[in-house]
Each structure stands twice: as structure tokens, then as C-alpha cells.
Structure 1
Amino acid sequence: MPVIARLTTLLLLCLSFAAQAEKLRIVTEPWAPYVYEENGKILGLDYETTAIVFKRLGIDVEWQLLPWKRCLAMLEQGLADGALDIFHSDERDALLLYPSEPLSDVEFVMFYANARPHPFRTLDELDGLTVGTSPGYLYSQAFRESSRFKRETAPTHEANFGKLQLGRIDLLITDRRVGRHVLKALQLGDQITENPLVVSRQSQYLAVRRKAGMDLLVQRFGAELKRFKHEPAYAELSARYGAGSSANVAPRDTVPR
């Protein structure tokens, strides 16, 4: 498509939102410190980054924080225009468009109770154990199909850590920063330990449903996001929410959200 035609289509898309007083409806699950609600205000590294980018693009957004399975259902049913902090998977390509630039990278690790320690270096060491998971998350084939351990879901990350503390599960898997945030909020840092092995790393995105004009919006979003991530304001935002990483990674075990 010629450049002028592409720009015209994007302009018409933006004007359409304004003229119809419509907003992009973006759904996501509370996933602190990437996105969460506190005292009636939505906060978080990826939420605030996305809000800044959309503001620069002149796009109004309606946000909804819901359980992840409901977020996915709303996308499939056309009740939401996009999702924040969704991982890329081939099976979602028919439904969703992803920018070239990810919002952030997550590191999935496991946690265990100090009273019942289960340190490990590979998934093969988890014979007979029960691992807490989150509903609606599409885990890797290796994790999902392993017969060495059981998987048990809980409705929230807080519930999973409560089950771990009470001995109802042996381990739980979640993002490193999410786990640390929950432990701090629940004041369980002295009772639960983070296993150092990174089970997987994965990039998370702002993805939108495939429909007219969205491909150009995604391109513009990715370009503006990339620019913003090179600015001091993004570095300050990232530092505020504890960006960090580890080099100890288990290969070939991705965990799409």
C-alpha cells in the first residue's frame, strides 16, 4: 500500500474513534508490577507505558481488569479490541496482531515454602510434586505434558501463594517480579523462597484483534513504543517497577500467557 494511502487510513481510523466517541477496549489481568489497581487507580510498568504511547497517538482507551480466562474469551467473542501483556503464540496469530516491539520481558521461576523446601535444577527433579498454576495461561508443552508432577490452578496469584504457605501445593510458577511483588504485599518474604532457575523467558505485548485499520495502528504503536523506551522517562519508569533479569535459564521451555 502506498505511504500516502497508509497514512490516510490511519488518520481515518483515528478520526473514526473521535467522531463516534468510541474508545479502544483493552482488557488485562492484574499482573503487578506490570499492571494492577491500587486505591481505584490503575498503575504498573506496562500499563503506564501503554497509556503514554496511546496518548501520543491520540487514541482513547477504556481499560478493564479481569481474570485472564475472561480476557481471552472477550477477545475471541469480539467484546474487547485488545489485550495488555499477552504473550505471542502461533495459534493466536489468526485472531490477534502484535507490534514489532514488546512491552517487557518476563522470567518465569518457581517458589517453594521454606518449611517444605524443593530446590531444583531441572523439571525432571519434580517427581510426585504439585505445582500451582494460573487458569487460562498457556504453558509450554514440556511443562504442560510432563507426567512427573501435577498441576493445580488457583484463581489468583495471592491464592496460589496462600496454598503454598499452607502446604496445599509444593511449588508455584509465576513471573519473578510478579512473585516478588505478591510476597511483599502478603509479607511472606521470610517464609517463601524463589528458586533461582529461570524456567523460561517470554516477551509480552499489547495485541489487538484483526480488523480494519488495526494493522496500521499496531505499526504506529510499535514505532512510538520503541521511541519511548529510549527516553529517560521510560528508564525512570522501569527502575521504579524493579526491572531486572537473571542469566540462569532453562532452555526450550517457554510459557505463553
Structure 2
Amino acid sequence: MSRYHSFLNQRLKQIVRFILSLFFTQLATLANADDKKLLIIAEEFAPYEFVQNGKVVGIDIDLSNRIFRKMGYEPEYKIMPWKRAWYYVQEGMADIILTTSRKTPREPYVWYPEEDMWQGDFVFFYKKGRFNPEQLSLNFAKKHGLKIGIIHGNSYHKQLWEHFPYRDGSREFMGDLSLNVVNPQLVPVETLKQNILKVADGRVDLTIATTTYGQYTAKLLGLSDQIDNSSTALYSKRYPLAFIKKSSHPDIEKIYRAFDSELRALKETGEYDKIIANWLQ
């Protein structure tokens, strides 16, 4: 009987070792699979990143997919209002954030590659027939007391804050999650779509966006025939893809350093221009 029990104990130990081996192998496989995933977040910024037929698409999405898949990673995308996206950044709840201009208050939270994803000229958008497009400027808007639709948490440009300081007198961007009350001529909302609709309805006089972003958003809303833009740029900005320092991904800094050369190579081969042309043609 004792020999039988000894044999049984031996077999049980072998079975337990086998099950544990399978368990830890599966665990390692799952961990490796997770290490190959990247969560990329952004606010809607058509045609660079936006939701179409329930799927996140756009110029930046095609560029990111091309680069990260070549590097062996699989991106997952989430679109959300900017303030929520920046909360994700501060809490380390994602790996990468798109369309994030370089600002000193953001540097503790993200790494910026040297290469930019794209650059854009910002203009005023208004209801057709209301203004002379050649007259519109920040000075004109301030002088005539025009209401300008802006997006919560967007940094815009120092010129905007100099012309329209916060109510406490601050004349520079106060941060993505700032609770400072903005100038009474600025009307914050969550998205550019809301601002374009408000311009079309006459609830605000103007809104600010890059030429491409504003025109594409008006097109998506079916309002291209009702919305026009100023002929002179208010300012220009460059937009890199930013890597989140608090990301839980074990290789995030290594990925950040490798991304620069991959984006540069994509531009040199001409693939970068082809991807952009595919969206803007």
C-alpha cells in the first residue's frame, strides 16, 4: 500500500509540475503579447486622427501603423476630449499621445522626438459672408469684441493668450488641466466639431484651427458651403507624436528613441508624402 501511495504521490507531483509549467509558459506568452501592444490616445483632429464608421482612422494613424508594425508593435487607438487625454498622460494610463505641440509645462510628462508628424497653419473660421477674410486677425477680433470658440486644454499660441489673457491677468498658457477662468471673449468647448457648429449657428463669431483640420471637419459635418476661413495664418505650429513617461510599457523609452529614425526614413523614401496625399487628394 505504501509503495502504491509513493507511486501516486510521485505521479501527482509530476502532474502538478506539468500544470505549473503550462501556466507559467502561458503567463510569459501573455506578458510578451502585452509588451507588443501600444495604447495611443488623441483628441479628434481630422484628417489626422478621427473616428469614421466606428474605427479610428487618419493620416497619423496610417503613419503610426506603418512605423510601429515595422518595429514589431501593434497599436491600439482611443479618441477622447483633450482634457481627458491629458489626464491619461499624467496618470500613465496610455503609452503615446498624438498631435501634442511642444510646451514646457508638458515636458515632465512626455518625451518629444525630434521629427514632427506634421506642421500646420492656424486660421480663423467663420460663417461665410460675415467677414472679409483678409481683415481677420487677433487684433481685429479683440478690437471688435468677437467671441472665439476654443477647445478646453488646447495650448494654441502665446499670441492668443497675450491678446486674450486669463481673467486673473495671466498672459501665457496655464496648462492642459488648468482651472483658470479664460478671457470672456473665449468660449471653451470639448471639440472642434462643436465650434464649427456654433460658428454656423452664429453662437460664436470665430473659431481657430489649422486650415486642413477646420476645412476637413466642416466637410465631415456637411457645412463646407457655410464655413470660410481667413486668408492669412495667425501662426504656425509643429506636431510630434509624444511618448508618455509614466507609461507602464517596459520598453517605452527604447521605442521613443527608435521612432525618430523610422519616421525620418519614411519621409526620405517618399512614403510619408504618399500617405498624406492619399488623405488630402
Q: TM-score range by the shorter chain?
A: 0.7 to 0.9
What's the counterpart of residue 86 of structure 1? 100
What are the superposed Cα offsets for residues 228-256 of structure 1, whole Å, 9 maximum, x if unpaired? 1222432221112228xxxxxxxxxxxxx
SS of aligned partner of 1:63: strand
Distance 2:263 2:280 in 1: 19
Matched-pair contact (CA < 8 Å) for 1:82–1:206: yes
SS of aligned partner of 1:25: strand
What are the superposed Cα offsets for residues 36-75 of structure 1, whole Å, 9 maximum, x if unpaired? 1211222111111011100011122222111111000110
- 1:237 maps to a residue whose letter is I
What's the counterpart of residue 21 of structure 1? 34
Matched-pair contact (CA < 8 Å) for 1:118–1:170: no
Assess, with a 3 A threshold, how the Cα gap between structure 1 residues 235 and 18 changes in structure 2: closer, same or farther: farther
What's the counterpart of residue 175 of structure 1? 210
- 1:1-257 equivalent positions in 2, closer than 5 A: 19=32, 21-22=34-35, 23-117=37-131, 119=133, 120-126=135-141, 127=143, 128-147=145-164, 150-210=185-245, 213-242=251-280
Residues 153-162 or 29-38, more deviating: 153-162
Matched-pair contact (CA < 8 Å) for 2:164–2:186: no
Matched-pair contact (CA < 8 Å) for 2:157–2:235: no
Residues 119-128 or 107-116, more deviating: 119-128
Distance 1:17 1:216 in 2: 21
- The two structures have a TM-score, normalised by structure 1, of 0.81
Aligned residues: 229
Gap regions ≥5 residues in structure 1: 1-14, 244-257
Gap regions ≥5 residues in structure 2: 1-27, 166-183
Q: CA RMSD in A?
A: 2.3
- How far does residue 118 in structure 1 lie from its aligned partner after superposition? 5.3
- The two structures have a TM-score, normalised by structure 2, of 0.75
What are the superposed Cα offsets for residues 177-234 of structure 1, whole Å, 9 maximum, x if unpaired? 1111112122222222110111111111111122664333212101001101222432
Sequence identity of aligned pairs in percent?
A: 28
Matched-pair contact (CA < 8 Å) for 1:47–1:84: no
User: Which one has a larger percent helix, Structure 1 or Structure 2?
Assistant: 2
